[in-house]
Amino acid sequence: MNATATEQLPVVVIGAGPVGLAAAAHLVDRGIVPLVLEAGAQAGAAVREWAHVRLFSTWGEVTDPAAEKLLAPTGWVKPDATTYPTGGDWVERYLQPVAEVLGDRVRLGATVTGVSRSGRDRIVDADRASQPFVVHVTHADGREERLFARAVIDASGTWAGPGPAGGDGLPALGERAAADRISYRVPDLADPAVRARYAGRRTAVIGSGASAFTALASLADLAREEPETKAVWILRRGLSGSTFGGGAADQLPARGALGRAAKAAVDEGHADAVTGFRTEAIEREGDRLVLVAEDGRRLDPVDEVVVLTGFRPDLSFLDELRLGLDERLQAPVALAPLIDPNQHSCGTVYPHGVKELSHPEEGVYLVGMKSYGRAPTFLALTGYEQVRSVVAAIAGDHESAERVALVLPETGVCGGAGLFDPAESTEAAEGGGCCAPAPALIQLGTAAPAPSCGS
């Protein structure tokens, strides 16, 4: 296929979430045909799964300008920019309308199973760059299809790949066998069936980000109504001044309030914090579960475990492409140093676009949460700027693609190694929970840091 014919092909966008739909809107705005492939039965399928969770970004920070432009002729009215949507609000009042405007350019129930160059596996050099991309798709009815594309924008996110409980990145021994008592999502306690599962029971929450804060705050609210309800907060690190986020110094007030609510859960005795605990095994003890740490500590039995240890990108269907990914984060190599939690806890994300998102395989881009790999920091605003730059590059407008601008709210706390305390800073905690001494923090500055996970 010659270059002219290839340019007539659509750009395949994988995922009809916030960033994928924004990418499609920018493509339409540039006069380029998008084809959005969504594995779920509806647009925003992943967001629908956490519809009960309120975002800590306002409406003014979670809509994309190109998508708004696409919606304008329909009479769509942007919600009050100063209010905070839930995931369900975001879908109903923004994502679904955008998908409806895009019409048949969004295909639902379409799972991408492979992406390659037409007639070229990853080994072949000859005439590689001139070949279109070939995308293999399996539809909900089992039908298989092969599509061709001039470029591929993977905005499939990481929601389908939650991290395990194990402190070594692998499932803890017994974790799979205890799957009936383990959840990897923030529980929706407004659902009577879910509420009954946690009310009056002892729940271990493993994780230290915004999702863990949300779970702790929700369980604390439940405990105020059901006094026997108790949370055990499992942290792999010690407690420090940054554990609960930026508080009043956070430029996203709702995010700061979320951290304060988690702190209140601990202070009021609704949650015990167990620090320096890296889970090695989950054992059954009758009808309950016992968490065992790598150092041999055993916690008192719990009824349920909520694992909120971050997410991982699914790279399996991109295996025939030549991607340039950081060996630790699985993020593009030029982006990884900006978001590496080994270096900082909040993430200092400078303006970035196509330059940082490009790979040795020209024409393929990982955007949105997936571009961050295993890093826990992301905002919708980041993804919208990413796709604006990427689409400009696909359109040949390199000046616009390279002219990136991104101003993100500061957390108010930006320092310290983000993943592991020095051995001397963590003391063994018995059963319930005591706090390890605060680790020394290394101040890294406050230049446009990104938030913890979420929008």
Cβ-based neighbours of 420, under 8 Å, separated by 6 or more:
236, 237, 342
Compute the mean pLDDT over every residue in the chain, rounded to the nearest whole number: 86
| Pair type for strands 110-117 and 133-139 | antiparallel
Is residue 232 helix, strand or coil?
A: strand
pLDDT of the residue at 407: 61
Taking CA atoms, 352 is separated from 15, 152, 410, in Å, by 21, 19, 17
DSSP labels for 288-322? Answer: EEEEEETTS-BPPPBSEEEE---B----GGGTTS-
Look at residue 384 in the predicted model and tell me its pLDDT: 96
CA contacts within 13 A on the Cβ side of 408: 29
The pLDDT assigned to 240 comes to 60
DSSP per residue, 196-209: HHHTTSEEEEE--S
Q: Where are the alpha helices (DSSP H) in 165-234?
A: 192-198, 210-225
What's residue 128's pLDDT? 95
Checking if the pLDDT of 450 tops 50, the result is no
- Given pLDDT bands bounded at 50, 70 and 90, which one contains residue 412? very low
The residue-averaged pLDDT of 298-304 equals: 98
Q: Report, as an integer, the average pLDDT of 172-190.
A: 97
More confident residue, 154 or 455: 154
Model confidence pLDDT, tens digit, residues 45-64 = 999 999 999 998 899 999 99
Residue 68 backbone zone (phi > 0: left; psi -120 to 50: alpha; other: beta): alpha
Q: What is the tens place of the pLDDT at every residue in 208-233?
A: 888 999 999 999 999 999 999 999 99
What pLDDT score was predicted for residue 334? 95
